[in-house]
Amino acid sequence: MPFFAAPRTEPSGPLITRVARIGTVVCAAALLIATNAGAAKPVRPVDATAAAVRVDNPDDAFLAARDAFRSGDVAHGAVFAQRADALDARYPLSSYLEYWALSRQIRDYGDALTAAAPDDAIRSFMTRNPGSVVADLARRDWLVALGKRGEWATFEAEMPKFALNDDAQVTCFQLTARALRQIRGATNRSEASADADGAADPAISELLRLSRNALAQPREYTNDVGACATLGRVLVAEKRLTQQDIWGWMRLGSDANNATAVRRYALLLSDAERGGDSARFYRQLDSVLDKPALWLAKTSEGGESGALRYKRELAVMAFARIVRADPQMGAASVQRQPADILTSQEVAYLNAQLAAATAKKQLPESVEWSRKSLAAEGLSEDILGWQVRGALRAEDWKMVQVLIEKMPPEMRRAQAFEGTWAYWLGRAYKAQKKNEAAQTQFRQVADQFGFYGQLATEELGQKVTLPTRAQPANATEVAAAKELPGFQRAMYFYRLDLRREGNLEWNFALRGMSDRELLAAAEWANRNQLLDRAVNTADRTRNEHDFAYRFLMPFQAQMQEKATAVGLDLDWVYGLIRQESRFVQVAKSSVGASGLMQLMPSTAKYVAKKIGLDGYRADGVNDLDTNLTLGTSYMRMILDDLDNLPVLATAAYNAGPGRPRAWRSTLTKPVEGAIFAETIPFNETRDYVKKVMSNATYYAVLISGNPQSLKARMGFVAQRGYTPSELP
């Protein structure tokens, strides 16, 4: 019997073991109320409002508590939590009720110096919930609070126990703690500070490498609670960061159009590095970020010298922003500048910006700008990638090789970026008759189950097949998966339609699993119609694989009927749905796309009218039959609209049919479908097309039982003049 049809277990067991826990929740709320003067946000006192709301079952009480805690209303959350316990002494999700109250207490401890230390409460909670998601979440919150307060001894004692270890704030605090201990605590201070890169001490050198990598993330630097800024300030105080580091990160922030990150990075500069007048510097920085052309014009009119470092850096940032907005205007602006305004290195950097900007706009001059930029340093991954894409579109294989070999080693290794740059480096070698080097590259990529792994396999003279199928999970293995507390909590969350929480529990339970355990978990998920979990879980196996789980084929009779009715290959339909929704029928995207095939309301309405679907109503889009009818009909429409080329139609399904038409119109000659896909200007659509086409190839192997060719499926895309599409 699928989980969703199973009756809920009735409450049982003694109440006495729950009383202490209920008291913990209420006491946590009471403590917050008592210490409200030092809290970051005011907490409303308990009143009769929440208690007066009638809840007849623990699920309703749990959801009410969740809403209250999420809104910051800890007092009412505690009342609902107490009600949940009263209704069910062994409620499966009770640890979350504790965690939500405790997490607010921990946050307040981090934000207010007068708040009471919650160490004992946290340790008690983690002891009673060993190896659980909520225990690790509590530890994460605690680590952030400890970092904010600078309690580094406790932080370093607890950090190794943090299982998720995926929080950028915690990482920056961890590096700060290490920096304070390893650099400031060095016995021989003169030796420790003699080398800015820490060459005298390998541990310090590695610490600085990790720190620079952590700081060079504009989004994280903007979103964190000051952890990375704290790390930056410590390294500045210890003279371990240079102006070049800081200005480089400011450029990265500007490249990402993240003005907040740029301004925060600028705080790491000294007054002298800002020109001695901080207020004036920040006014100029704001002008550069908001109106770069106007700032450059005013600076030029004022006759100010560009010799000072900060003025040159601001000028570079201003030029780069103009270049990204309008490459033609940017190129003209850079070329008009006197030689003393920009150094040769800065000019090379701007040429790289021009190469990337013209590549994104699919202009042929990208290659020439790349040629002029080869001396540039400190380029972002995005800029480096787009330079290569510009050369790919021109099929200038020598430049492709030069640009990829210029990338940092970690960017072009076979496992990075799903093998993208390792594969294209192999293709560049092959085009230049460097066959041995090419084969080495392809072999390094071919063991990956993805778009470039498949293409590399074909470059080695083989077609795409499936790995040997692992032995199915036996009854004992599946039973063991069923009993895991994390899976049981996940199942309960799915029953409450809380997929985010359910997925967190499910994925946490997968940590450290063997391939056999993963396959058993995939089977258990499949039996319970958790199709997305079955796919994602099977995707994690390392040596034993079962592609029948990785590429599930549910609803096969209906899918075949709908695909046949409109003349589509079933493998392509499955490949698209796997990427769109992972077979979750009630999936809804942030932009409003719904159902198995993730249809936008306007598209569904258009298709329903076009095919004469009688009685269609917008609220029926999640109905399986309706969703498949509309989705496959739309796939047929865009395939016909785009010359029966699946690679273009796949892009159209994600980005709309007009955009692939525009991208195709800029071609100067036919290009491989793989090159067309890799040079799609939209990151999401580029990734989407590669994944859908890779999925479809594996589905074709499963359905036909025969080896397949992804290269043949991708085909070639020829230039065609742009005309608007009538399709939505």
pLDDT in tens, 482-493: 999 999 999 999
**How many Å apart are CA 690 and CA 31, to the nearest integer?**
53
- Provide the pLDDT for residue 307: 52
pLDDT value at position 337?
Answer: 79
CA atoms within 13 A on the CB side of 37: 2
- pLDDT score of 27: 41
The residues, ordered by sequence, that sit 6+ positions from 264 with a Cβ below 8 Å of its Cβ are: 221, 222, 229
Please, which pLDDT band fits residue 299 given cuts at 50, 70 and 90? Answer: confident
pLDDT tens digits along 540-578:
999 999 999 999 999 999 999 999 999 999 999 999 999
Q: Give CA–CA dist 604/601, Å, rounded.
A: 5
- Asked if the model's pLDDT at residue 6 lies above 60, the reply is no
What's the pLDDT score for residue 623? Answer: 95
Specify whether the CB–CB gap between 506 and 582 falls below 8 A.
no
pLDDT of residue 466: 98
**Per-residue pLDDT averaged across 43-71, rounded?**
74
Buried b (16+ CB within 10 A) or exposed e, 657-688: bbbbbebbeebeeebbbbbbbbbbbeeebbbb
Q: Choose the weakest-confidence range: 44-48, 210-214, 582-586, 704-708.
A: 44-48
For 467-474, what is the mean pLDDT? 98
Give catalytic residues, as residue numbers. 580
> By the 8 A CB rule, do 710 and 464 touch?
yes
pLDDT at 598 over 50: yes
User: Predicted confidence band at 186 (pLDDT cuts at 50, 70, 90)?
Assistant: low
pLDDT grade for 62, boundaries at 50, 70 and 90: very high
Q: Which two tokens stand for residue 23?
A: 């008291």
> What's the pLDDT band for 105 if we cut at 50, 70, 90?
very high
Q: Can you tell me the mean pLDDT for 421-444?
A: 98
What is the H or E stretch that residue 717 is in? strand 716-717
Nearest to 531, CA basis, from 3, 5, 59 = 3
Provide the pLDDT for residue 35. Answer: 35
As a whole number, mean pLDDT of residues 443-468 equals: 98
Confidence of residue 56 (pLDDT cuts 50, 70, 90): confident
Q: Which helix (H) or strand (E) holds 672?
A: strand 671-672
Q: What is the model's pLDDT at position 224?
A: 66
Residue 164 CA from chain centroid, whole number: 16
User: What's the rounded Cα separation, in Å, for the pair 671 and 648?
Assistant: 13
Q: Are 682 and 655 in contact (CB under 8 A)?
A: yes
Sketch out the chain's domains with CATH numbers.
Answer: 3-166 (no CATH), 177-394 (no CATH), 475-545 (1.10.1240), 556-717 (1.10.530.10)
* pTM value surpassing 0.85: yes
Cβ-based neighbours of 109, under 8 Å, separated by 6 or more: 115, 116, 117, 118, 145, 149
- Cα–Cα distance measured from residue 445 to residue 463, given in angstroms and rounded to the nearest whole number: 14
- How many CB atoms sit inside 10 A of residue 721's CB? 7
Provide the mean pLDDT of the chain.
90
28 — pLDDT class (breaks 50, 70, 90): very low
At residue 346, φ and ψ (nearest 5 deg) are -70, -35
Cα–Cα distance measured from residue 703 to residue 553, given in angstroms and rounded to the nearest whole number: 9
Strand partners, 599: 594
Which pLDDT belongs to residue 308? 78
Q: Per-residue pLDDT averaged across 463-491, rounded?
A: 98
pLDDT of amino acid 34: 37
Which has the higher per-residue pLDDT, 602 or 49? 602
* Cα-Cα end-to-end distance for the chain: 42
Q: Which of 694, 651, 670 is nearest to 456 (CA)?
A: 694
For the cut 90, the answer to whether the pLDDT of residue 10 exceeds it is no
Strand partners, 594: 588, 599
- Decide if pLDDT at 44 tops 50: no
Q: Which of 26-40, 169-183, 263-277, 377-391 has the least mean pLDDT?
A: 26-40
Instruction: Please compute the mean of the pLDDT values over residues 607-626 and round it to a whole number.
Output: 94
Asked if residue 187 has pLDDT above 70, the reply is: no
Average pLDDT over residues 253-262: 95
Find the mean pLDDT for residues 674-692. Answer: 98
Mean pLDDT value of segment 230-249? 95
